[in-house]
Structure 1
Amino acid sequence: MRADGHDYVITALAAACFISVTSENAPIALLPVMSHDLHTTAATIGAVLTGYAFVVAATAIPAVSLTSSWNRRTAVVVAVLTITLANIAMAMSPNVGTVIAARSVAAVGHGVFWSVVAGVAARLSGPQHAGRATATVFAGNALAFVVGLPMTSALGSVLGWRVAVLTLALISAAVTGALLMALPSVPGSGKGTRLSADLRSVLSQPAVLVVTGTTLVLVFGQFAAGTYVTEVIGHYTGVHGSALSVVLFAYGLAGVVGVLALRPVIDTRPRAAALTVTAVLALATASVAILGDRSSLFALGAIIAWAAPAAAIATVLQTGITRAARPGTADIASSGYVVAFQIGIGAGAWTGGRFIDRGAYAVPLLITAGCAGLAAIAVALVHSASPHGQPIRSAPVSAGNRPGET
């Protein structure tokens, strides 16, 4: 593939990540207006995110197993199209129940998309540049917090949450078209294996289990507080309303910096990158919890600093799972990672909501800090789960043709 064509494909995949993450986390940005319009509480809107997460967790492995023989181009396009249609349905929903139903449809597509997108980027880029390609594609995640969520928050404040969600549907439709034009054929495994065989292939890999377990702990911690970042910002800094969009923009910009900072080191020093991310996450969130009430300016700085490692979590974990997986099992291993990620989101959002509703803002932040510390310990010891005690070096390329093969 020519360099310019490759760049176009990677950009399209990054755009898909952008709209997927923006759509997934829209209830966070729209939490005040949605709760008011739907006559419910912040914790109930948090449950919208929780329900989404658990649907992804329940369907990701079966869906990826069933679609393993699909061309990856088809899988990606259908997944993003599903998110598009679900956004339209959500915008038309009359109550919380139908919002949850619409998002449950999107969640199925989400699970497939995130199980295959890193593998597609890796296969199109080659094993020596897989981590860098993943970081570039996952920059779309961070841009969702720079552009997507502030835009969603602003539109929700001015025009209402339904207009904001319809706007996401239009963007998602455009991204679907771009993927149709940009993505080349990327064959699936073609094995037609049964779900039970796919599950055994994941459970028999200790390194994959270690990374998956670390994912569960770290994501649980992050979303215990991160789901309610708008509430945290309001409590510690006094920023509300339209000004919140400005703070969310700064938060997201710090996230982009965090992801892009990984690009030079993620392929060559993955453990150092992971340790840095988890350590900074623990320090930033603990600082807000312990010292944030003393100075709103300090709290604002610490919250923005929190964004850099928070945005980098997915890149570090996804690169870890593709390195840990045996050749030919990356997609199904990634689906297990997606399940852990989504359970972490759902359980973290539910747990954090219990404390946020009671005004105990420091507790979710301390949960984040504690889980990040545990994840750092796991990263430091992860070599013990790799064969022969060596660092994980499995080529981060999914089964199927590598770039240049036909």
Structure 2
Amino acid sequence: MPLPILALAVASFCIGTTEFVIMGLLPEMAADLGVSIPAAGLLVTGYALGVVFGAPVIAIGTAHLSRKSVLIGLASLFVVGNLLCAIAPNYWLLMAARVVTALGHGAFFGIGSVVAASLVPVNKRASAIALMFAGLTLANILGVPGGTALGEAFGWRSTFYAVVGIGLLSVAAIAWLVPSGVAPPSAGGIASEVKVLGKLQVWLAMIISALASASLFAVFTYIKPILTDVTGISIAAVTWVLLLFGAGMTVGNIIGGKLADWKLMPTVLGTLTLLALMFMVMVKIADIPAAMIATIFLWGVLTFVIVPPMQMRVVETASEAPNLASTLNQGAFNMGNAAGAWFGGLAISFGVSYQYLPLVGTATAVIALGVALVSARLDRSSAALGYADPLRSTT
């Protein structure tokens, strides 16, 4: 892994850890802050909203600045936000701190993707983006369980202090390892960043990202009752199954980067097709533990096979001014998270059993596949994409 991308991966590990570890610490946080567990759960919602609304504001506001300086600033904002979380004396100040922390999340991954792609040859860009996102997948295997264990042993605040320490390391690594002048700002500044949003292919790419994410969270949000009530797995074993899912995500992230460098849109189309079929298979084997566990691993693989190509797709279709679009794509993923959880909950409220809930994932993946087919057809109808390559520094 190139050292500059390693620095970005360390930062993505921190971001992934602090985003998801709170789910394992909700009871402890609720008890300490004197609120209900559902109220503590809103800290997750607050973070997601911070990502969605903060990402475009920061991307536009920093469009004229050096990409390296912006990344250092965003990583520093992340450190400050986690420090505020660690020392927050009450629930509402903790909520505010979570929102502050989230503001830089989408912009970091969006701008970081552009920077990572600019550091390698054209035929390895998706793999470079995948390497940066490897920190996020590793957070689900190491950071989240490790942070949960630390919080249970020494109090939930200790987890945030630990993330602050790793965050400071990432700031130093970015300052030291990422070259100056990398991925220069768009020549047209803010105007060109906003103008690129008028391209249909940019919006189609973000819609695919949102729908792919929704297909995941429509089912994954309710994975614990699916595994315990339908599959018959013990509560203690669920943690290990979810770690296996995280391992699948890590494998899929690497595969997705390599496949996207080879054939980007065929990778997207093939993965969405396999996801739709996998959810259908999940319905049939949900009550067979061994088969379900194997399917969970495959699900993790397919879930992240599509992430590097979709991020790369946005960077390509918005190549004249990729920073805002790439950042908005992170917001699209988070909107998909929220929408998917709502779709799944709505299905359950209408009487769909946990066993058949994966069919909601199938339906969403099929819609995403339809949008991807439209996008691919538009590609074929064009004589050539003919986009410039602003990702590389001319210095």
Question: Quick one: which of 304, 309, 312 aligns to 1:316?
Answer: 309
Determine the structure 1 residue equivalent to 2:20. Answer: 25
C-alpha displacement of 1:210: 0.8
Aligned length in residues? 392
* Structure 1 residue 321, shift from structure 2 partner: 0.7
Task: Pick from 58, 80, 84 the counterpart of residue 85 of structure 1.
Answer: 80
**Corresponding residue for residue 99 of structure 1:** 94
Q: Does residue 298 of structure 2 align to residue 268 of structure 1?
A: no
TM-score, normalising length: structure 1: 0.84
Change (3 A) 1:352 1:268: same
Assess, with a 3 A threshold, how the Cα gap between structure 1 residues 31 and 239 changes in structure 2: closer, same or farther.
farther
**More divergent stretch after superposition (156-165 vs 252-261):** 156-165
Q: 1:266-325 deviations in whole A, cap 9, x for unaligned?
A: 112112221233233333444445542x23333322222211122333212101111222
The Cα shift of 1:245 comes to: 4.3
Measured against aligned partners, the alpha-carbon deviations of 1:140-190 in whole angstroms (never above 9, x if no partner) come to 222122212222233344444332232222222211211111111126426
- Of residues 138-147 and 376-385 in structure 1, the stretch that sits farther from structure 2 once superposed is 376-385
SS at the partner of 1:184?
coil
**Residues 321-336 of structure 1: matches in 2 within 5 Å?**
321-325=314-318, 327-336=319-328
User: 2:376 matched to which residue of 1?
Assistant: 383
- The letter for the 1-side match of 2:138 is L
Return the alpha-carbon distance in structure 2 between the equivalents of residues 296 and 43 of structure 1.
30
CA distance in 2, matches of 1:287, 1:95: 46
Choose 374-383 or 74-83, whichever is displaced more: 374-383
1:346 to 338, 353, 356: 338
- Are 2:209 and 1:215 aligned? yes
Q: 2:106 aligns with which of 111, 117, 125?
A: 111
Deviations 1:186-224 (A, max 9, x none): 2642657446x6333212x11111111112222223223
Local SS of the residue matching 1:70: coil
Q: Choose 328-337 or 46-55, whichever is displaced more.
A: 46-55
Q: Whole-Å Cα distance in 1 between the matches of residues 228 and 52 of structure 2?
A: 31
Match of 2:274 in 1: 280
* Residue matched to 2:363: 370
Q: Which amino acid aligns with 1:189?
A: P
Distance 2:322 2:52 in 1: 17
Q: 2:168 aligns with which of 173, 189, 206?
A: 173
- Contact in 1 for aligned 2:118/2:183 (Cα 8 Å): no
Distance 1:33 1:175 in 2: 28
CA distance in 2, matches of 1:367, 1:299: 17
2:125 match: 130
Deviations, residues 325-351 of structure 1 (Å, cap 9, x unaligned): 2x3211122123223222222333455
Residue 189 in 1 paired to residue 185 in 2?
yes
Distance in 2, matches of 1:271 and 1:108, equals 30
* 8 Å CA contact retained: 1:285, 1:302: no
Q: Please report the RMSD computed on the Cα atoms of aligned residues, expressed in angstroms.
A: 3.1
CA distance in 1 between counterparts of 2:281 and 2:39 reads 28
Does the CA-based 8 Å contact 2:256-2:306 persist in structure 1? no
Give the secondary-structure state (helix, strand or coil) at the position aligned to 1:149.
helix
User: In 1, Cα distance between the equivalents of 2:164 and 2:112?
Assistant: 20
Distance 1:362 1:392 in 2: 44
Say if 1:233 and 1:102 are closer, same or farther in 2 by CA, change over 3 A: farther
In the TM superposition, residue 135 of structure 1 has moved relative to its aligned partner by 1.8
TM (norm. structure 2) is 0.87
List per-residue Cα deviations over 1:98-152 (Å, max 9, x = no partner). 3321111011111220220111011111323211211222222221222122222
